Structure 1
Amino acid sequence: MAAKSSLFDATRACRLAVLPLSCLLSLAGHAQTTPPPAVKPPLPRVEPGLEKAVQWRWLPEASDPSVWGVALPPAPEPETVPGSPGTDAPKKATLPQGPPQATLEYTVAKGDSLYVIARQHGVTIDQIKAFNQMKRDVIVVGQVLRIPSLADIQAMAPPPEPAPVPKTKVAPKSPPKAPKEAPPETKLLIKRPLPSPAASVARIVLMQAYLDRQAFSAGPIDGTDGPLYDAALRSYEMAHPGELNSEMGQPAAVLREMGGAYAEYQLKEEDLRWITPQPLAPPVPVRKSRKSAPPPPEPPLTFEDLTAPPFLPYRSVWEFVAERYHCSESFLRRINSGLNTPVQPGALFFVPNVLPFEIENALKEPLQPTADPAAPVTATIISNSRLEIRRSGKLIANLPVSVARPGLRGKGSWKILEAIARPCLVTSGDPAAPVNPPLVLPPGPNNPVGPIWIHLAKSSETTPLPYGLHGTSIPGYMNRQESVGGFRMTNWDIARAVRLLPVGTPLTWE
């Protein structure tokens, strides 16, 4: 065998020796010009735009509620139709209240979306897609769509299920066994088949969503496990022993009662009040390849980008929906890769089945509850990474925390003071060369401290410390990037933590 191997090597060497010089040079050139594998750029150490600002002292202040939100563009004037004979006054056209009487054909124009077309004709997006056998929300200029009539819609509806035929009862030969307890009825939350990226991780998303519903958060839901997930799960099982147990590998009863790992959310026109206005553009057809093209990179934020506007909204629809449903933006994009771009009102998202963070309702007063001596509340921050809240000694919440500034630590006994809704941040800048008037980071969900700031103080003092407990503008990176503030949580977690923490709640560090 060794002789054969040596003979083969010698023959191969001879063949290479007689190759033309041009071929050898070509092979060498090909090896040298092969592009190296793409290297992902490292994550910036500091939250973009705050590179210098992290060195300054910032103080929170309440902002004017009137600047909370983005002004929506005025509604377009209704189209006019000619008046009745003998009159010159035009009549204002009204939107139809239902489907047309007969099937129509509509040619897609520039700026159209399925939402706009459906609204103009009194039908739904799903009805247009089903009638035109469309699998995606993609339309292109010049495309002809058939608008279903009422009769068409009724014909598309599935026939009712036949009534079950009663079986003839036969006397049992032996006493019947007691029937097994039926599982609780499952709620129908989604009517469409799940895409494979969502279905493949549905089991862990179900558990993440359940823990999140119980205020035992593992951070942004992303369909993967890890240290934060393990910590949240262990903590919940200790607080609720046996609740997640199941038989024969089936989900626990509390998980079945949720109705599934996912729900659906349809983007509304009023949601745009919280999102940076995007330039209108005609829909871009999705390529037929299985992998959708990644979104184009956004230019890095500057300090001027953060201080110039009166309000810091979400920077995209994706960021808005991801925060509303407590998940990472990359995960949301992955399970909704078939959505049209740009995403417009009427778009239907698959989202984790959590209790949504509704920014339009999250700041209703009073933010903090009244202390109840019969059910005292205590709080503990463990290893600068988790906030535990107890009522009457029972653990009721376990939520992730991270430190915004390196080296910031707490020890001993502190306490919870008043909370500020819609905070802005104010600074005089560099202490060596202070500026006047002060610099301001305006309020908004993308303020570095989010929509809520909770003042903290040492247990023996009443003066607030310069660092509090607050939200964040970078929920997916708050463990990896420095920022301004103190001890941060995701915006959805700080919004529910504040409603569990009365003024005067003891806060200890472990």
Structure 2
Amino acid sequence: MMAKKRLLFDALIMDSFWVCFVVWLCMTAIPVIGQSLAQATVEPGMEQAVKWRWAPEPSNPAAWGLSLEMQPEPSSMANSTHGVAGKASVSAPNPQGPPEKTLEYVVQKGDSLSLIGRRHGVTVAQIKEFNRMKRDIIVIDQKLRIPSIADIQAMAPVPKPAPKPKVAQKPETKAESVKTKEVAAETKSRLKRPLPSAASSVARVVLMQAYLDRKGFSAGPIDGTDGPLYDAALRSYEAAYPGELRSEMGQIPEALQNMGGAYAEYQLRREDFRWIAPEPPKISATRKSGNSASPEPGITLEQLTAASFLPYRNVWEFVAERYHCSESFLRRINPGLKSSVTVGALFFVPNVHPFEIENALAEPLQPAADPATPVTATIVSNSRLEIRRSGKLVANLPVAVARPGLRGRGTWKILDAIPRPQMVSPGDPVMPASVPQVLPPGPNNPVGFIWINLAKGSDATPLPYGLHGTSIPGYMRRQESIGGFRMTNWNIAFAVRLLPAGTPLTWQ
């Protein structure tokens, strides 16, 4: 009898424990999990700000970009050297890239290859390869040659094979396989270095993506994979320009042959750092790649509004946007480059017309209206912007809404464009801030670097939502943010020069 009572008592205790545990889970753990999932659907830093009213305002053109005055010159040691026979200065400030000329360095007490590499803007691997060293061991008074930019390019290391993207693709036909090899061979013939396998294996798809991008029929960030967006862009172009991509079986269409290959090369310049954050991400750490699992955490609205300019978070993001590709794809086709790269680094990039942020805002942004060749625009299913000139489709570009439920009807109108917009808000409508919240201009402003005002019907009053760029091209279809109808920065830069003020905008 006592044993039964003891068992009953133990059961009651366990039941009480589980009831308490479930109550704790509902009150603490589940809300935290729910909050994390909710944050994943909003652009980092904008979790509360998406509920506020924001308006674009022109910013000061003088504040566009970062100062290069504090950046050391990449050839800061050149003045104290004389070619190969010269001695590299030990006390010179660390440069941002390799020297312009080959240098000779005499190892001093306390030196290591990493310290020598930092002093001269080169990597340990580059020093070892240039000096044919198998080990990292150095001795005092040993003479090392420091490779110049030209030396590094001439070494042309064969990159290690990179893993293929884990994206299901249709198996190639025999004709497509032949075409892939031809594209890769043609691309290699015009490059200074051999292509990594991760680049050559998808050269056929990248060539077509780059071609469509050049023609204004973008499928979004180039990533070497086909899919619904790629197929839609290709069908749209073939319908607009029938026969241009026709070819004999296994042959590359002439239009694509004239491009000169799927890839080009880009060498990082010192002036590029005018647009790149000079230190680890404190201003904008949003991943640009749509292939990554999730954006990097930690960005707050306070950090965004405290800045005077919102630059690219790193070199990879800058080069990826310049050449219209996802950041993860850029890293995959450049396996020989470290995560931290400096001036002189040579990238394989898609062969597109680059988005040159330093020249993208040259006036006039919008063309003058020409009654002889009227321009019209249509947003289809809230996902594509179609632009026609005299009824002929000349561009078909991806669009995504910044906020759920945002949609137009009937006929709107394209108004003026605001370059370098800063976004201003009174803050929380329940408790407005005494000082307006300001998101400064820059490529990582949530609305990008151009805002095009829109109006309904014949009204000339701009709406609170416009057509604009984005800081998250790989996530603009997945994450909520401020603004209205967003496009990648390179696509809005292309579209604005096709859309005169007064262009009718219809919805389908």
Coarse TM-score class (shorter-chain normalised): 0.7 to 0.9
Map residues 196-215 of structure 1 onto 2, 5 A cutoff: 196-215=197-216
Q: Is the 8 A contact 1:449 1:472 kept in 2?
A: yes
Match of 2:364 in 1: 366
Q: Find the counterpart in structure 2 of residue 446 from structure 1.
A: 444
- Residue 229 of structure 2 corresponds to residue 244 of structure 1: no
Distance in 1 between residues matched to 2:155 and 2:386, nearest whole Å: 52
1:433 shift after superposition: 1.2
Q: 1:397-429 CA deviation, whole Å, 9 max, x = no partner?
A: 000000000100011000100000000000111
Deviation at 1:116, TM superposition (A): 2.8
1:403 aligns with 2:404: no
- Whether 1:64 and 2:76 are equivalent positions in the alignment is no
Q: Which of the numbers 80, 83, 98 marks the counterpart of 1:116? A: 98
Residue type matched to 1:410 in 2?
A: G
Q: Take 2:499 and 2:368, find their aligned partners in 1: how far apart are those partners?
A: 9
| Residue 146 to residue 295, structure 1, CA distance change in 2 (3 Å) | farther
C-alpha separation in 2, matches of 1:347 and 1:221 = 21
Question: Secondary structure, in 3 states, of the residue corresponding to 1:61?
Answer: strand
* Secondary structure, counterpart of 1:440 in structure 2: strand
Corresponding residue number in structure 2 for 1:178: none
Deviation at 1:337, TM superposition (A): 2.0
How far 1:262 moved relative to its partner?
A: 0.6
Measured in 2, the distance between the counterparts of 1:413 and 1:79 equals: 56
- Work out the percentage of aligned pairs sharing the same amino acid: 68
For residue 461 of structure 1, what is the amino acid of its counterpart?
A: D
Q: Which AA in structure 2 matches 1:385? A: S
Which moves more between the two structures, 482-491 or 123-132?
123-132
Amino acid at match of 1:357: F
For residues 457-508 of structure 1, the C-alpha deviation after alignment (integer angstroms, 9 at most, x for no partner) is 0122110110000000000000000000000000000011000000000100
The answer on whether the counterparts of 1:65 and 1:422 sit within 8 Å (CA) in structure 2 is yes
Question: Residue 329 of structure 1 aligns with which residue?
Answer: 327
Q: Judge conservation of contact 1:105–1:144 (CA < 8 Å) in 2.
A: no
**Structure 1 residues 114 and 198 mapped into 2: Cα distance closer, same or farther (>3 Å)?**
farther
The corresponding residue for 1:94 is 79
Alpha-carbon deviation of 1:342?
1.6
User: Is 1:260 the counterpart of 2:261 in the alignment?
Assistant: yes
The answer to whether the 8 A contact 2:98-2:147 is kept is: no
2:317 is matched with 319
Q: Secondary structure at the match of 1:415?
A: strand
Q: How far apart, CA to CA, are the structure 2 residues paired with 1:302 and 1:195?
A: 38
| CA distance in structure 2 between the partners assigned to 1:498 and 1:112 by the alignment | 41
SS at match of 2:408: coil
1:364-416 per-residue CA deviation (whole Å, 9 max, x = no partner) reads 11100000111110000000000000111111100000000010001100010
Distance in 2 between residues matched to 1:296 and 1:218, nearest whole Å: 21
Quote the Cα distance in structure 2 between the aligned partners of 1:316 and 1:445: 12
* 8 Å CA contact retained: 2:74, 2:270: no
Give the alignment's TM-score, normalised by structure 1: 0.73
Shift of 1:190: 1.5
User: Among residues 413, 420, 431, which one is paired with 2:411 in the alignment?
Assistant: 413
- Asked if structure 2 preserves the Cα contact closer than 8 Å seen for 1:95 and 1:120, the reply is no
Cα distance in 2 for residues equivalent to 1:255 and 1:368: 29
Structure 1, gaps ≥5 residues long: 1-40, 81-91, 158-182, 281-293
1:497 aligned partner = 495
Q: Tell me by how many angstroms 1:73 deviates.
A: 3.7
Larger Rg: 1
Deviation at 1:300, TM superposition (A): 1.9
- Which residue of 2 is the match for residue 22 of structure 1? none
Please state whether the residue corresponding to 1:116 is helix, strand or coil. coil
Letter in 2 for 1:373: P
> What is the correspondence of 1:415-434 to structure 2 with a 5 Å cutoff?
415-434=413-432
Task: Give the direction of change, closer, same or farther, for the CA distance of 1:119–1:403 in structure 2 (3 Å limit).
Answer: farther
Output aligned runs, 1:14-93, within 5 Å. Answer: 44-74=40-70, 76=72
Give the Å deviation of 1:248: 2.9
Q: What is aligned with 1:477?
A: 475
**Is the 2:399–2:487 contact (alpha carbons within 8 Å) kept by the matching residues of 1?**
yes
For 2:223 and 2:300, how far apart are their aligned partners in 1? 28
Q: Give structure 2 stretches of 5+ with no counterpart.
A: 1-35, 105-119, 157-181, 282-291
Residue equivalent to 1:34? none
SS in 1 for 2:79: coil
Which residue is equivalent to 1:169? none
Among candidates 479, 484, 487, match of residue 486 of structure 1: 484
Is residue 350 from structure 1 mapped to residue 316 from structure 2 by the alignment? no
Q: How big is the shift at 1:74?
A: 3.3
State the Cα distance separating 1:350 from its structure 2 match: 0.6
Contact in 1 for aligned 2:103/2:147 (Cα 8 Å): no
Paired residue secondary structure (1:507)? strand
Distance 1:298 1:476, change over 3 A: closer
Alpha-carbon distance between aligned partners in 1 of 2:52 and 2:433, rounded to the nearest angstrom: 12
Partners of 2:155 and 2:65 in 1: CA distance = 41
Q: What TM-score, normalized by structure 2, do the two folds share?
A: 0.73
Structure 1 residue 198 displacement after superposition: 0.8
Q: SS of the residue aligned with 2:311?
A: coil
CA contact (8 A) 1:424 1:441 kept: yes
Question: Amino acid of the residue matched to residue 451 of structure 1?
Answer: F
- Counterpart position of 2:284: none
Q: Which amino acid aligns with 2:97?
A: Y
Task: Kindly indicate whether the alpha-carbon contact (under 8 Å) linking 2:206 and 2:223 is maintained by their aligned counterparts in 1.
Answer: yes
Aligned-partner Cα distance in 2 for 1:454–1:493: 13
Whole-angstrom CA distance in 1 between matches of 2:74 and 2:336: 32
Corresponding letter in the other structure for 1:232: A
Structure 1 position 305 matched with structure 2 position 287: no
Q: Does the CA-based 8 Å contact 2:447-2:486 persist in structure 1?
A: yes
Q: Aligned letter for 2:244? A: E
Aligned length: 413
Residue number in structure 1 paired with 2:28 = none
